[in-house]
């Protein structure tokens, strides 16, 4: 089969796992870097986990033109280079107060209209 300029071409497997949810994490990481990826046989291996070993597990595939970039990201991920620092606590960050003020003003206005004061 030949590919044309408009088609995405061939796909290559860059990772395998008997636990498809592990591949979902890598897929999300690749897609955040604008590399389209998809999982082959993820559903069947999730439902019938006993055959996952026999079938080689689920496969994460990307278009051939993205393989090199995807493998670099996968290598960085596996080496722990993309992990968050243990010191960072997302809950400590203060949210932007502007949406809360707008929400409270809208709620106040709705109460006034409901009570007939607006």
Each residue's pLDDT tens digit, 19-73: 888 899 899 999 998 999 999 988 787 777 777 777 888 899 999 999 999 999 9
Q: Three-state SS string across 62-81, please?
A: EEHHHHHHHHHHHHHHHCCC
In the prediction, which pLDDT does 7 show?
A: 43
Would residue 57 be called left, alpha or beta, if left means φ above 0 and alpha means ψ between -120 and 50 degrees? left
User: How sure is the predictor about 13, in pLDDT bands with cuts at 50, 70 and 90?
Assistant: very high
Which of the pair, 60 or 115, is modelled with greater confidence?
60
Long-range contact pairs involving 30-34 (C-beta distance under 8 Å, separation at least 24): 30/62, 30/70, 30/73, 33/69, 33/73
Q: What pTM value is reported for the model?
A: 0.61
| β-bridge pairing 37-40 and 58-63 | antiparallel
Confidence of residue 3 (pLDDT cuts 50, 70, 90): very low
93 or 59: which leads in pLDDT: 59
Produce one character per residue of 104-113: b if its CB has 16 or more CB atoms within 10 Å, e if not: eeeeeeeeee
The pLDDT mean for the chain works out to: 76
Q: For the sheet with 11-17, list strands across it.
A: 11-17, 58-63, 37-40
């Amino acid at each position: 089969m030949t590919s044309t300029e408009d088609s995405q071409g061939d796909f290559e497997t860059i990772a395998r796992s008997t636990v498809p949810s592990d591949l979902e994490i890598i897929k999300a990481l690749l897609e955040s870097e604008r590399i389209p990826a998809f999982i082959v046989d993820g559903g069947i291996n999730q439902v019938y986990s006993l055959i996952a070993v026999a079938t080689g597990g689920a496969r994460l595939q990307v278009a051939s033109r993205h393989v090199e970039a995807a493998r670099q990201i996968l290598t960085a991920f596996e080496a722990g280079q993309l992990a968050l620092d243990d010191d960072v606590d997302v809950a400590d960050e203060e949210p932007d107060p502007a949406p809360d003020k707008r929400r409270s003003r809208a709620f106040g206005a709705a109460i006034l209209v409901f009570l007939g004061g607006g």
